[in-house]
Amino acid sequence: MPHFSYRDGEFCAEAVPLKDIASRFGTPTYVYSKQALTENFAAYADACERHARGADAALVCYSVKSNSNLAVLNLLAGMGSGFDIVSGGELLRVIAAGGDPRKVIFSGVGKSRDEMRLALEHDILCFNVESIPELHRLNEVAAGLGRKAPVSLRVNPNVDAKTHPYISTGLKDNKFGVAYEDTLATYRAAADLPHLDVVGIDCHIGSQLLDDAPLLEALDKVIELVDQLEALGIPLHHLDIGGGLGITYDKEAPVAAGDYLGRLFARINAWRDEKYQGKGIKVLFEPGRSIVGNAGLLLTEVQYLKHGATKNFAVVDAAMNDLMRPAMYEAWHGVKEVIQHSGDAAAVYDVVGPICESGDWLARARTLAIRDGDLLAIMSAGAYGMTMASNYNTRGRAAEVMVDGAQVHLVRQRENPADLFVLESLLP
């Protein structure tokens, strides 16, 4: 995380000391680096520009579920990003942030009629459809509006992403997508429905992939299907290879986006030259974590240092409701002391929150030189941090700030308790 570093013993976000952010905005607070976000998106956009053939030959569709803050979406929209959404609410967020709905792809296994209607009314780019019942529902909704819905089918290629089972989506046991062996029949069914326009094919095998070999294996399977569909008289206009590239949380060494896209486009361009005399097919991507994950951290304050019979605990004011990943996945996040105390003895701590659950922990067995009242930075928290946050124990969700050089912008206010029950009513 190069845009988060120590300066004279103080941990900083870009040019701003984190202690100043805590003093101004309180804790817990999510802190994002604008420069990191910009550079991470540019890694995809620049690689597409280098390797794709033509200005409109590729589109990076940021995965909104990874971090849906309006400031993040607005920044990416200004850089030309499209968006991958999984709910009607996410579509409305994109629009509120200034994103172009005609660059939106709508994924997810359980789209409601209202969500389909909303997306059609905003003329989105495409629906990634995941079942035959969904095809029929979308056809009915489109008919009611007098429209044709653009669709691609999300294909489940049964490729092992070699990642955590909760974030693996491309195996035949997963709920996502159409089974590979059922793909051609499902495309025929889609082509026969009068209010659907078959335009593409989609594949997403999972998240936090460190090696691009599974992605390239999935690409080969999808290319084979595109050829078979062409022979059946169902030509496609775009190929969506999904997202999933991982980030460094600890000692992982994920493939660089530019290297992966270089290999991917080499295969796609060779295939197009051989089979279609260079005829173009647009390539879509759905990155999320690799853009925003290491562009953010969670800033928290130590409330108590508690020395137990077998463990030491650093009890902080952030909790599992703020950052769910450790409790849900046993995920590893780095922990940094915001102020380095020279000469203080270090000890091994579990970093835990105040929620009434034994699963409420943020990090285990970390060697830290800290005191009551010190600040800690929970690293690599830009993705699936705030978007998975809850109000468990009637806790308001954290504030969010964006750092731009020496400036800090509040991009989401902290919730207070009254916000949490304003929609509730007493019995008459």
Would the annotation count 188 as a binding residue?
Answer: no
Would the annotation count 286 as a binding residue?
Answer: yes
Q: Which of 48, 61, 126, 356 is catalytic?
A: 356
DSSP 346: P
CA 17 to chain CA mean position, Å: 27
Would the annotation count 357 as a binding residue?
Answer: yes
Let me know if 61 is a catalytic residue. Answer: no
Would the annotation count 110 as a binding residue?
Answer: no
Would the annotation count 147 as a binding residue?
Answer: no
Distance separating the N- and C-terminal Cα atoms of the chain: 54
Would the annotation count 252 as a binding residue?
Answer: no
Q: Which residues of 119-141 are buried (b: 16+ CB within 10 A; e: fewer)?
A: bbebebbbbbbbbeebbebbbeb
DSSP string, 224-243: HHHHHHHHTT---SEEE---
Peptide bond into 28 cis (omega under 30): yes
Would the annotation count 53 as a binding residue?
Answer: no
Q: d(Cα 234, Cα 85) in Å, to the nearest integer?
A: 26
Cβ atoms 98, 77 nearer than 8 A: yes
SS3 (DSSP) at 319? coil
Q: d(Cα 302, Cα 351) in Å, to the nearest integer?
A: 9
Binding region for substrate: 289, 325, 329, 357, 384
The residues assigned a catalytic role are 356
Binding-site residues for pyridoxal 5'-phosphate sit at: 244, 286-289, 384
Q: Which residues are annotated as a binding site?
A: 244, 286-289, 325, 329, 357, 384
